Amino acid sequence: MAATRLIALHINKGKTVAQCLRDRTDYAQNPEKTAKGELVTGYQCDPMTVDEEFLLSKRQYQHITGKQQKHDVIAYQIRQSFKPGEITPEEANQVGYELAERFTKGKHAFIVATHTDRAHIHNHIIFNSTTLDCAHKFKDFYYSGLAIQRLSDLICLEHGLSIIEKVPYSQRRKRTIYEKRTTYRDQIRHDIDTILKNPPTDFDAFLRKLEEMGYEVKRGKYASIKGKDQQRFVRFHSLGEGYSEEDIQAVIAGEKKHRARIKSPLAKEDRVFNLLLVIDDKIRAKGPGYQQWATNYNLKQMAKTRIFLKEHNINSMDELREKANSTSADFDRLDKELKSAEQRLVEIAALKKYIINYAKTREAYVQYRKAGYSKAFFEAHREEITLHKAAKDAFQKMGVSKLPKVKELSEEYASVLEQKKSLYAQYRLSKEEMREYQKALHNTEVFFDLSNNVELETKRERDSTIVSMNHQNEH
């Protein structure tokens, strides 16, 4: 698991660019924090002279482009912190190097310094704001911090590490909330639970057992008890449901069963099968057979699918299949509506053409009919008569009994065309969404199928080895 943060490094007041670069890079490469510099790596620069190389590229940028630096951002730093005990310093440095190279697309020089002076291993990644060709500057785009976190999660999964799960705001722990301490009443309830596991013969025997455990008991209309360090007596009914005198006496008499008031340590969402956790466990299970699995399947592809499932809050195969089916159904519906709109546009265009031809050639056809369908008249007006007949045949095939007005058809065409544009925008989004879910479903099913095959093969090999060893021992 790695938490990330992108920080713009500015020019400090009263200092030069060279001084600021040297201060930032020197802190990152502090020998006491980086195992005497062994945990420092560089890309397209020497960590020993990184500040001078960054400064030289900025001067070349001014010479090539003729532009002066408008802003005081001289470099950028990515802080990447890992979960304690989950990663070695060497692997953390490698993960940081991959993150920097893929985020900058290899266009910016950088150094990665892994610090081990804290309980959690963390990287200080400093990359130059000027590109390697000294012709451009890095643009800190909107949501760049989220892009880095997503890329970091992807790389962590590829290395078999855990990632940070998104927690709903209502379930997040605030810094002002601390672990609930055990109260006197909690201790009393716990001791009552212990006694009622083997209920005594009567209520007086129950009170005597409490006295034996160190409690002071006050008998009367309402019995109450007080622990060694308590200041006041506590009545049983104030302990909550299941701990009143009536409840305890009913348990002793065998009329009801006592249920301890113990909250489950697992939250509701933790008790539900979580697809993401199962995938994480399988990815990190680098035991026997892992190499075979990694050879047959693209781990990077599965890591991308894992990020997709996380972002879309998919926690089970049933949910994934349901989303894949629903997005496919939505796509099919939009596809049919889009084809229907396109077909209607073709029909309207054709109908308009036939109506116009019919109107233009109607007079010639009327004269042809009055001439008794004369061959000589037909040859003289062949084109008009042919167009008129074609229009009449088309109307008959279309089932048009009353010709609509061309203006109405034009208005309908414009309306359907607008509808088609809207449908096409939805169609493209739906198609992409359907493909993403279908790909995620396919990748996940293949992933589990291959993983289970590897586990089964590993189990068979282990069982075969045990049988072979037992057979040798017998002889």
Q: Is the per-residue pLDDT at 74 higher than 50?
A: yes
Q: 207 and 99 in one domain?
A: no
**CA nearest neighbour of 111 among 40, 24, 52, 23:** 40
The CA–CA distances, whole Å, from 427 to 67, 226, 333, 344, 418 equal 45, 71, 9, 18, 14
Predicted local confidence at residue 457, as pLDDT: 54
CB 9 within 8 Å of CB 75: yes
Predicted local confidence at residue 166, as pLDDT: 66
Q: Which tokens in the block code for residue 303?
A: 């890591």
pLDDT digits (tens, 9 = 90+) for 78-119: 999 998 888 899 999 999 999 999 999 999 999 999 999 888
Sequence-distant (6+) residues with CB within 8 A of 235 are: 222, 223, 224
pLDDT digits (tens, 9 = 90+) for 384-433: 999 999 988 988 888 888 888 889 999 999 999 999 999 999 999 999 99
Among 51-65, 180-194, 355-369, 392-406, where is mean pLDDT lowest?
180-194
CB 80 within 8 Å of CB 99: yes
pLDDT above 90: percentage of residues in the chain: 34
Q: 97 and 37 in one domain?
A: yes
Res. 70 pLDDT band, cuts 50 70 90: low
Find where tokens 């002793």 sit. 252
Question: How confident is the model over 371-383, as a mean pLDDT?
Answer: 90
Q: Is the per-residue pLDDT at 463 higher than 60?
A: no
The half-sphere exposure of 228 on its side-chain side, counting CA atoms within 13 A, is 4
Res. 128 pLDDT band, cuts 50 70 90: very high
pLDDT, greater one: 272 or 130:
130
Helix axes 144-158, 89-104, angle to 10 degrees: 130
CATH number at residue 68: 3.30.930.30
Sequence-distant (6+) residues with CB within 8 A of 238 are: 185
Question: Max alpha carbon distance in the chain (Å)?
Answer: 130
- Tell me the C-alpha distance between 444 and 320, whole Å: 9
Instruction: Classify residue 348: in a domain, yes or no.
Output: no
Q: 195 and 89 in one domain?
A: no
pLDDT digits (tens, 9 = 90+) for 195-205: 888 888 888 88
Q: 190 and 131 in one domain?
A: no
Instruction: Classify residue 419: in a domain, yes or no.
Output: no
pLDDT digits (tens, 9 = 90+) for 219-241: 888 888 888 778 888 888 888 88
Res. 460 pLDDT band, cuts 50 70 90: low
pLDDT above 70: percentage of residues in the chain: 82
Question: How confident is the model over 20-29, as a mean pLDDT?
Answer: 93
Q: 231 and 136 in one domain?
A: no
Instruction: Classify residue 52: in a domain, yes or no.
Output: yes
Q: 30 and 100 in one domain?
A: yes
pTM given for the model? 0.53
Domain end among 252, 285, 305: 252
Q: 194 and 74 in one domain?
A: no
Q: 111 and 35 in one domain?
A: yes
Domain that holds residue 225: 184-252
Q: 118 and 26 in one domain?
A: yes
Q: 7 and 136 in one domain?
A: yes
Residue 12: φ, ψ to 5°: -75, 150
What total of structural domains would you count in the chain?
Answer: 2
pLDDT, greater one: 225 or 447:
225
Q: Categorise residue 399: left if φ over 0, alpha if ψ from -120 to 50, beta otherwise.
A: left
**CA nearest neighbour of 70 among 21, 159, 7, 139:** 139
pLDDT, greater one: 90 or 174:
90
Pairing of strands 2-10, 73-82: antiparallel
Instruction: Classify residue 438: in a domain, yes or no.
Output: no
Predicted local confidence at residue 143, as pLDDT: 87
- Tell me the C-alpha distance between 221 and 124, whole Å: 69
Rounded to the nearest integer, the mean pLDDT of the chain is 83
Instruction: Classify residue 41: in a domain, yes or no.
Output: yes
Predicted local confidence at residue 126, as pLDDT: 96
Sequence-distant (6+) residues with CB within 8 A of 60 are: 134
Domain end among 77, 107, 140: 140
pLDDT digits (tens, 9 = 90+) for 39-51: 999 999 999 999 9
Instruction: Classify residue 103: in a domain, yes or no.
Output: yes
Q: Which tokens in the block code for residue 69?
A: 């630096």
Instruction: Classify residue 166: in a domain, yes or no.
Output: no
pLDDT digits (tens, 9 = 90+) for 261-319: 765 444 444 434 466 666 666 666 554 445 555 555 566 777 778 888 888 888 888 88
Predicted local confidence at residue 268, as pLDDT: 40
CB 203 within 8 Å of CB 252: yes
Q: 196 and 78 in one domain?
A: no
Domain end among 140, 169, 199: 140
Sequence-distant (6+) residues with CB within 8 A of 416 are: 341, 344, 345, 348
Predicted local confidence at residue 443, as pLDDT: 80
Res. 452 pLDDT band, cuts 50 70 90: low
Q: Is the per-residue pLDDT at 152 higher than 70?
A: yes
Res. 464 pLDDT band, cuts 50 70 90: low
The total of other beta-carbon atoms located within 10 Å of residue 71's CB is: 11
Predicted local confidence at residue 272, as pLDDT: 40
Instruction: Classify residue 287: in a domain, yes or no.
Output: no
- Tell me the C-alpha distance between 413 and 405, whole Å: 12
294 SS3 class: helix
Q: 212 and 109 in one domain?
A: no
